[in-house]
Amino acid sequence: MHCSHSLRSTLVALAALCGWTQAHAAQPALNSSTARERHSNTNRHELERAWSYDQRAYPLGYIPAGARERALKQIQQSTSLTARAAQPLIGGGPQWINFGPAPFMNAQITPVEPTSGRIVSIAVDPTNNAHWLVGGAMGGVWETRDTGVTWSPKTDDQASLAIGALAFAPSNPAIIYAGTGEPNYGAQDDYAGAGLLKSTDGGANWVLLAGAAFSGASFSSLLVNPTDPTLVLASVTGGGAGRGGELPPSQALPGVFKSTNAGTNWAQKLFGYSTDLKADPSNFNHQLARVAGDLAHGQCLGRLAHLDQAAAADAHRHSTLVRPYHQR
């Protein structure tokens, strides 16, 4: 009797679910009352579920039928770069070659236009020019050892897939630094990072360093001393919290930072949103940093600062060279 009652209850529930599914398919877009109900809900689990769904349903308000199957088909079509002829992008002399993947049209954006992911950073092994690393906006670190013909992911299991900066240690390329967080604030779907990833075995294994110092921020550049792999400089700017240009709940201080113990501890040398950092090829102690006083100006305006540091005495001074915008 009890089993029969349970079976009837299950059948009723399934029938109701089927009815709801058909109604949902007939009217896939979310209406305004549903949106208001979601925002007024205080149940944490329901809010998490709604947030997860909304990320996948944007911008249509629903997940199109067959979306996963189409995504798998796209993956299968682009697994072998060698099956496609490389297309030169410019003619005459040395040529640029498009390694792909090719932009796709079905990206659930309006208006429909070619869309692709973002490669934010590139690093080349100083001892092997066929060995490259690239960092994706939200795709982690990828490696090729055959000049881009084949690729393998290296950080899928790490704390952040948003990669802003990559650097080999010139004196020991087995040491790799990867700064997390995409520094392209204003992309409207960028993500801040969780700290600095470091590998001492060529990218096979990683450890997360300085999470407390850099969580909620984004690395824009990493420089490693040519003769000392423990001396690292970083430029850091703000980071976003995904679609819509939101900010994370808390952000680390931006600026230019220096570590003398291989990324474990950091000292701030410049304050402000720093979106680039370069070193003099003939003298690592001379650097130029791009710094702005606020996050909006950090992307397109700012000042150029000259840093001069004596490695032996750890002295450090800087001066502003250019300020291309007026204070209001």
Q: What is the DSSP letter of 101?
A: P
Burial 203-218 (b: 16+ CB within 10 A, else e): beebebbbbebbbbbb
Domain topology for 118-274:
Methylamine Dehydrogenase; Chain H (2.130.10)
pLDDT digits (tens, 9 = 90+) for 127-176: 999 999 999 998 999 999 999 888 999 999 999 999 999 999 999 999 99
pLDDT digits (tens, 9 = 90+) for 40-75: 566 777 777 787 788 778 778 888 888 888 877 776
Residue 272, both tokens = 């402000």
Q: What is the DSSP letter of 102?
A: P
Q: Please give the single-letter amino acid code of residue 192.
A: A
Return the domain boundaries, the chain. Answer: 118-274
CA distance 127 to 101: 27
CA distance 262 to 260: 6
Enter the pTM of the model.
Answer: 0.69
CA distance 149 to 46: 44
